[in-house]
Amino acid sequence: MLLNLVKISIPTAAAFFLALFLTPIATHFFYKYKMWKKYSRNGDKIEDFKKIHNEEEELKTPRVGGIIIWVSVLLTTLIFYLASLWFPAETTEKMNFLSRNQTLIPFFTLLFGSLIGLSDDLIQIYGSGKFAHDDNSWRAWKALLVVGVSFLIGLWFFYKLGMTGIHIPFGGEIYLGILIIPFFIIVALSTFSGGVIDGIDGLSGGVLASIFGAYSIIALSNDQIDIAAFSGVIAGATLAFLWFNIPPARFYMGESGMMGLTITLATLAFLTDSVLVLPIVAMPFVVTSLSVVLQMLSKKFRNGKRLFRLAPLHHHLEAIGWSTYKVTMRFWVFSIIFSIVGIILAIISR
């Protein structure tokens, strides 16, 4: 157990300090090339949104900060992997956590998802036309891209890993067969929709750090040490991002971070056989996404009337008078509590 904890903690700390080291370099690059949006959000048309939204600040703050997270994760993973190849020894081989049956898929999921997200950010930074304004047609294309990536991952789960069912807490397993593929796509889209939580300085970073930290513990309880280490590395890199994203943020996470991280989260939930615990661990995502859906339904079926002053929920809380710090820190507390509940449920329901 001690060796397993060392295997998890050292890469996690390494990712944190590597990200801290890379951030000043990346920040200089972000500002030098003016990597921020050129167009304000459509939500600015709403009077309540104008009161809480500093358009000038948003249009002068880089939106590709997620690069720091996934680059640090990928570099940390490769460092320990290459060390096991170049300096073969029991210690270096033990510390390597890139394995075919546990972390190869989440590794490439994070890479490809993040590159797609980076492409989205670059379109909004340097592009023009409706896609640069993040209109509904472009959002549909992004969802389609998520479906495509998720379909490939689902195929790997079914044909390569032989995954055919999901664990029901306290109730055994439900057999899905090939339906595991569309089910994964649905879960990936659901977690991706939670990316709307990236709307306040420090909010998404704190929530994601606690979620991936929770999955590190869940994987450890399953004796999936490589997944535990990989999840810990993501949490460590995210905490380093959060160090610079606390208000006033030096940069925003953007799709460069959210797309890859959310799809990777869905992948880890399946690999740890705890997908039905995911809504609990990621409860802030659930609540945030649900607030958007309810707002849309209210407008459609109640003659344009809004259920919330603003959606997502964190903007509603700001609109009714909560300070940005209060919203962010209470979301962090909310996330930690549900992460703990999810960990306990995942462990005792085996």
Asked if residue 267 lies in contact with residue 153, where contact means CB atoms within 8 angstroms, the answer is yes
CA distance 238 to 303: 41
Residues facing residue 165 across a β-bridge: 175
What percentage of the chain reaches a pLDDT higher than 70?
91
Long-range contact pairs involving 292-296 (C-beta distance under 8 Å, separation at least 24): 292/193, 292/196
Asked if residue 100 lies in contact with residue 67, where contact means CB atoms within 8 angstroms, the answer is no
Cα 263 from chain centroid? 7
pTM of the model: 0.94
Q: How many domains does the chain have?
A: 1
**Could you tell me the pLDDT band of residue 44, with boundaries at 50, 70 and 90?**
very low
**Could you tell me the pLDDT band of residue 270, with boundaries at 50, 70 and 90?**
very high
For 290-327, write each residue's pLDDT tens digit.
Answer: 999 999 999 888 888 899 988 899 999 998 989 989 99
For residue 150, give its domain range. Answer: 2-348
For 8, counting Cβ atoms within 10 Å of its Cβ (0-12 exposed, 13-18 middle, 19+ buried), the class is: buried
Asked if residue 263 lies in contact with residue 43, where contact means CB atoms within 8 angstroms, the answer is no
Asked if residue 311 lies in contact with residue 291, where contact means CB atoms within 8 angstroms, the answer is yes
Q: How far is CA 62 from CA 76, 116, 124, 172, 343, in A?
A: 24, 17, 11, 47, 35
For 95-105, write each residue's pLDDT tens digit.
Answer: 999 998 899 99
Q: How far is CA 105 from CA 16, 54, 257, in A?
A: 22, 39, 17
Q: How far is CA 126 from CA 13, 29, 123, 211, 326, in A?
A: 35, 15, 6, 32, 34
Say what the pLDDT of residue 209 is.
Answer: 97
Asked if residue 206 lies in contact with residue 332, where contact means CB atoms within 8 angstroms, the answer is yes
Mean of the per-residue pLDDT values of the chain: 90
Looking at this protein, which amino acid is placed at residue 185?
Answer: I
C-alpha radius of gyration, the chain, whole number: 20
Task: Compute how many other C-beta atoms are within 10 angstroms of the C-beta atom of residue 170.
Answer: 9
For 171-212, write each residue's pLDDT tens digit.
Answer: 888 999 999 999 999 999 999 988 888 878 899 999 999 999
Flag whether pLDDT at 36 surpasses 90. no
